[in-house]
Amino acid sequence: MTEERKHTISLLVDNESGVLSRVAGLFSGRGFNIESLCVAETLDPALSRITLVTRGNERIIEQINKQLNKLINIRKVIDLTETEFVEREMALIKVRAKEEHRAEILRIVDIFRCKIVDVSPAYYTVEATGSDEKIAAILNLLKQIGIKEIARTGAIALAREAKK
């Protein structure tokens, strides 16, 4: 039995109602887990892309890929983990911005190339994008200052094109 690994799977699916629940139902019905999931239309309005992150050993991931392929509305299943790919997540983080912490927040924002997208007397809202490790690092630092609330996306990902 191989070790559990995180896999990012990209699906091209028919842009129809019910497709997402077919995917979600497959995962819940067969006891596979979904760590995150993102859906949006592609350039072709008939198709959507679902990016989902899951975890499992080789046998489970093989089943997940095959079962996804079997769903009628799924056009293409790409397990990006087997290739070179870029992956991003985004988080909006509302931090307590007391007078004495503002400089510190700005420094963190600068280091991680984030943006401040909303400012009020008591709070700054920080927009961060990057890998899940990067987001985790930012959260870790800002937590010490005081986070009021956060909203995060799941991962979105695309395969890298050949360099030559």
Contacts with other proteins in 73-102 (CB under 8 A)?
Answer: 73-75
Neighbours of 81 (CB within 10 A): 16
Residue 61 as a binder of other proteins (CB under 8 A): the answer is no
Which residue is it, tokens 């299943």?
77
Residue 63 as a binder of other proteins (CB under 8 A): the answer is yes
Residue 2 as a binder of other proteins (CB under 8 A): the answer is no
Residue 72 as a binder of other proteins (CB under 8 A): the answer is yes
Amino acid occupying residue 30 = R
| Listed residue (137, 50, 52) closest to 93, CA to CA | 137
Judged by beta carbon, residue 29 or residue 45, the one nearer other proteins is 29
**Is residue 77 within 8 Å of residue 9, measured between CB atoms?**
yes
Element (H, E) at 133: helix 132-145
Among 5, 59, 107, 148, the residue binding other proteins under the rule CB under 8 A is 59
Contact positions vs other proteins (CB under 8 A):
14, 18, 21-22, 25-26, 29, 59, 62-63, 66-67, 69-70, 72-75
